[in-house]
Amino acid sequence: MAHGDLTIDLRQMILAIETAVSFVGMNDVNHGKRVGYIASQLGYQLGFSDEDIQFVFDLGLIHDCGVSTEQMHSNLVNHFDWTDANIHCEIGWNLLKNFAPLAAFATPIYYHHTPWRQLMDTNISRRDGRMANLIFLSDRIDVMAASHYEKDILLAREEISRSINTYGGSYFDMDLVDAFNTVEKSEAFWISLEDRHVSRYVWNMGQVESNSPLTLDQLRQLSLIMSYIVDQKSPFTAEHSVLVASLAAYIGRTFGLSERQCEKIEIAGLLHDLGKLHTPDNILAKPAPLTAVERSIMNQHSYETYEILRHIKGLGEVAEWAAYHHEGLNGVGYPFHPAATQLSTEARIIAVADVFQALVQDRPYRQGMSQEEALGILIDMARYGKLDQQIVDHIQHHIEGCFRIASGQERDERLSYKELFPAKTGQRPS
Ligand SMILES: [Fe+2]
Ligand SMILES: [Fe+2]
Ligand SMILES: [Fe+2]
């Protein structure tokens, strides 16, 4: 592979998407894992091929990739049939449909809250329809079971089963409901859904490679999908990740780093704030200074970024560059406090790009700063050892270019949400 240490198997990235998306659930991080597990168990019962079982398991893991906010997550898991459920289906479809390695998941994701009867009126393939409905069924089983795990799940299953059967033929394909009726008879099925078991099961699945290493282009595209999910979480962050990525790569290039390093910096820039998926909506969207408690919770996000990225085999130093974006040079910053010698140039560039972009970005309650104001703040931060002096000097020399990129006036079309995921509602798989 041309990009050496950056050889990453698609399976690793599917699991990373699952981890990132699961963080939105805050206290319940295993919904996607359970849906994948339930769907795969029903798949065995239905006589699926190994390939289809793997497919439906992965589909379950990432089926909620269109959910960025806690609020939406809670509506989905607290109502059997929530009227706005189609929003996340459409977002999920939009995110994956043009990304070849995951495009096969897009149509089933679009229809994973569509009742079986309505599915019959669409012209999607029988396989897509079945996969979509299997996820819908598995998802609703989990939603009904969620409050009973680790408690009375073996008693609650009777009620769950009765309820699912009343929806057979209308919401769910009767064949799938029949498979459920067989599978649910075993206590093992229900017990295996408890946190300790289902997370190990998923971990085991992660050991199986899909043998489809991503190209560097694909890795960037996938990182862009993930950054979109996090940037959508709050109107304050709109395009933050994507602009930090462009700016950091620009700084790297003009600073004289190799093209390959700059490509990697770009990926780290896209991924740096992934951990914000675990920050409560009300803290991210607060239009005022944070209290000490809120700040302490907010500041956990770069550690959470590291937790998502460190498990991706092959990502190597990119995980650290991303996770170190709030570290300073004299041990000021958080959360690892690496020595200055452990802070690579790439990590320092991302840290500077992060601050500069945030300062110049318009917020709902304030205008973005001018280049002079923003630069003034960077210079102060360098003086206190929070940012690298040399890189801040470098920004000063390229201030016009840096400002145009950070404020979104000059764009790289490879890194544009608008072009890649146009949000035109009413579109559907054809
Ligand atoms: Fe779901
Ligand atoms: Fe951050
Ligand atoms: Fe950031």
Query: For 353-364, what is each residue's pLDDT tens digit?
Result: 999 999 999 877
Which has the closest alpha carbon to 302: 339, 274, 269? 274
Please count the CA atoms within 13 angstroms of the CA of 280 that sit on its side-chain side: 10
The CA 88 to ligand 2 mean position distance, Å, reads 25
pLDDT category at 418 given cuts 50, 70, 90 is confident
Q: Round to whole Å and give the CA distance between 412 and 243.
A: 9
Structure token pair of residue 386: 């929070």
Q: Round to whole Å and give the CA distance between 10 and 12.
A: 5
Judged by DSSP in three states, 327 sits in strand
Which has the closest alpha carbon to 184: 138, 243, 215, 120? 138
The CA 144 to ligand 3 mean position distance, Å, reads 37
pTM for the complete prediction? 0.93
Residues 6+ apart with CB under 8 A from 364: 235, 236, 287
Q: Round to whole Å and give the CA distance between 291 and 370.
A: 27
The CA 272 to ligand 3 mean position distance, Å, reads 6
Which has the closest alpha carbon to 95: 225, 214, 227, 221? 225
Q: How many CB atoms lie within 10 A of CB 359?
A: 18
The CA 306 to ligand 2 mean position distance, Å, reads 11
Q: Round to whole Å and give the CA distance between 13 and 311.
A: 9
CATH topology of domain 216-420: Hypothetical protein af1432 (1.10.3210)
The CA 63 to ligand 3 mean position distance, Å, reads 26
* Domain range annotation of the chain: 10-206, 216-420
Residue with tokens 């479809």: 93
Query: 216-420: same fold as 10-206?
Result: yes
**Which ligand is nearest the CA of 63, by number?**
1
Active site residues: 276
Decide: 133 and 119 in contact? Cβ < 8 Å.
yes
Decide: 284 and 237 in contact? Cβ < 8 Å.
yes
Judged by DSSP in three states, 12 sits in helix
Q: Please, which residues have CB less than 5 A from ligand 2, an ion?
A: 273
Spell out the CATH class of 10-206.
mainly alpha
pLDDT category at 330 given cuts 50, 70, 90 is confident
Q: What is the pLDDT of residue 3?
A: 44
pLDDT for 344 beyond 60: yes
**Which ligand is nearest the CA of 302, by number?**
2
**Which ligand is nearest the CA of 352, by number?**
3
pLDDT for 1 beyond 80: no
Q: What is the pLDDT of residue 227?
A: 95
